[in-house]
Amino acid sequence: MKPAAFAYAKARSLDDAIRLLGQHDGEAKLLAGGQSLIATLNMRLSHPTLLVDINGVPGLAGISVKNGMVEIGAMTRHVALERSAEIAKHAPLIARAMPHIAHPAIRNRGTIGGSLSYADPAAELPACLVALDGEMDIVGVSGKRTVRAGDFFQGLFETALGPYEVLSAVRVPAAMPDTRVGFAELARRHGDYALVGLAAVAKANGAGLSDVRLVYFGVGETPVRAKAAEAALAKGSVDDAVKALDFEPAGDLHASPEVKKHLAGVLLRRVAKQLTGQA
Ligand SMILES: Cc1cc2nc3c(=O)[nH]c(=O)nc-3n(C[C@H](O)[C@H](O)[C@H](O)COP(=O)(O)OP(=O)(O)OC[C@H]3O[C@@H](n4cnc5c(N)ncnc54)[C@H](O)[C@@H]3O)c2cc1C
C-alpha cells in the first residue's frame, strides 16, 4: 500500500520543529530514522497531515560522558551506538543490546529517540533505559522537562511525550567498576523483535549481587520490572528468582502466555550467569 497524502517540512532547529508540530493540531509527526514511521504510514495505521523531518536539526545527535552520566542525543543512530567505544565502556548494557536490534540496514537509519518514542513493547532500548534507571529530556513550547525512564513508558506504544513535544536526549548512569550487566533475548530469527527479552543491571557485592534491576520486554504493554525476582536474586537464589517471576505475559501470534513465562525463566538463568560472571 501507499501512504495517505501528507505534507513535509524540514525543521532547521528544535524550536522550529516544535513550532511546526504546533501548527497542525496534533496531526503532525516527527520523522527521525523513518524505520517504524514509514511502515506505519504505508500500512495506513497512521495518517499525519505533516511530517516534520528532524534529521537536519543541529545538536540532536552525539554521545558524551559527563558528571558520571552518559548522554545520548535523540538522533543518535543505532549504528553509532553499536560502534561507539564510549558506549562499550560506559554503557555496556546498551552495547550488548544493539546487535539484537533489527538488521544493519535498519540500524544505519534508526535512532535511539525514535525507538524510545515509538515504545514498541518488544523493543530492546526501552527495557535497557528502565533497567539503567535512565532519564529522558523532553522539549516543548514551555521549555524542557526531564522524565525518569520508568515513568516515560505509559502503555502500548504510549509515552509521556505530548503531541507537540520532542525527545531531545537521554541519560544513563556511567558504569562503575562494580557495575554488572546482563542481556538476553529469544527471537524467531536474529534481528526480529524479541518473543521475550531481559535487560539487567546490578552491583557486584562480594560473591553476590545488590541493587538488582531486571526488566523484561515482549511480556507486557511496556517494559516490565520483575521486582520480586530482583529481591530473590539479590539474596543469591536463581531458582527462587525464577519462581518469583510474578507477571502474566499476554500471548501473541508467536507464543502463548505459558511459553513466554517459561522463556522468561530461561532468560533469567542466562542473565544471572552474566551478572555473576559465570557466563
Ligand atoms: C524490519 C524491521 C525490524 C525491526 N526490528 C527491531 C528490533 O528487533 N528491535 C527494535 O527495537 N526495533 C526494531 N525495529 C525498529 C527500529 O529500531 C526503528 O528504527 C525504531 O523503532 C524507530 O526509530 P526511527 O529513528 O526509525 O524512528 P521513526 O520511524 O522516524 O519514528 C518512530 C516514531 O517515533 C516518533 N519520534 C521519532 N523521533 C522522535 C523524537 N526525537 N521525539 C519524539 N518523537 C519521535 C515519530 O514521530 C514516530 O511516531 C525494526 C524495524 C524494521 C523495519
Top mutation candidate among 54, 112, 117, 136 for ligand 1, by most atoms within 8 Å of CB: 117
Grid cell locating 202:
546490578
Report, as an integer, the average pLDDT of 148-162.
97
Report, as an integer, the average pLDDT of 243-264.
93
For the CA of 123, the nearest atom of ligand 1: 11
* Ligand 1 midpoint to CA 206 (Å): 40
Does position 2 have pLDDT exceeding 90, yes or no? no
Top mutation candidate among 36, 152, 153, 158 for ligand 1, by most atoms within 8 Å of CB: 36
pLDDT score recorded for residue 28: 95
Q: What is the pLDDT of residues 56-73, one digit of tens each?
A: 999 999 999 999 999 999
pLDDT score recorded for residue 153: 98
278 falls in which pLDDT band (50, 70, 90)?
A: confident
Does position 101 have pLDDT exceeding 80, yes or no? yes
Does position 267 have pLDDT exceeding 80, yes or no? yes
pLDDT score recorded for residue 173: 98
For the CA of 192, the nearest atom of ligand 1: 8
Residue owning the nearest CA to atom 27 of ligand 1: 114
Count the residues in the chain. Answer: 279
* Ligand 1 midpoint to CA 110 (Å): 6
How far apart CA 123 and CA 218 sit, in angstroms, is: 7
202 falls in which pLDDT band (50, 70, 90)?
A: very high
pTM to 2 decimal places: 0.97
Residue owning the nearest CA to atom 38 of ligand 1: 114
Q: Using the Cα atoms of residue 54, residue 60, residue 63 and residue 69 in order, give the sign of their dihedral.
A: negative
Does position 207 have pLDDT exceeding 80, yes or no? yes
Grid cell locating 191:
534481528
Does position 160 have pLDDT exceeding 80, yes or no? yes
CB-count burial class (<10 Å; 0-12, 13-18, 19+) for 106: middle
CB 231 within 8 A of CB 214: no
Report, as an integer, the average pLDDT of 249-267.
94
Top mutation candidate among 8, 21, 30 for ligand 1, by most atoms within 8 Å of CB: 30
* Ligand 1 midpoint to CA 100 (Å): 14
263 falls in which pLDDT band (50, 70, 90)?
A: very high
118 falls in which pLDDT band (50, 70, 90)?
A: very high
CB-count burial class (<10 Å; 0-12, 13-18, 19+) for 85: exposed
Q: Using the Cα atoms of residue 194, residue 78, residue 66 and residue 142 in order, give the sign of their dihedral.
A: negative
Top mutation candidate among 14, 118, 128, 168 for ligand 1, by most atoms within 8 Å of CB: 118
Q: What is the pLDDT of residues 172-193, one digit of tens each?
A: 999 999 999 999 999 988 888 9
CB 125 within 8 A of CB 115: yes
pLDDT score recorded for residue 208: 93
pLDDT score recorded for residue 191: 84
CB-count burial class (<10 Å; 0-12, 13-18, 19+) for 211: middle
For the CA of 77, the nearest atom of ligand 1: 25
How far apart CA 274 and CA 19 sit, in angstroms, is: 46
pLDDT score recorded for residue 178: 97
pLDDT score recorded for residue 169: 98
pLDDT score recorded for residue 190: 86
Residue owning the nearest CA to atom 20 of ligand 1: 115
Does position 1 have pLDDT exceeding 80, yes or no? no
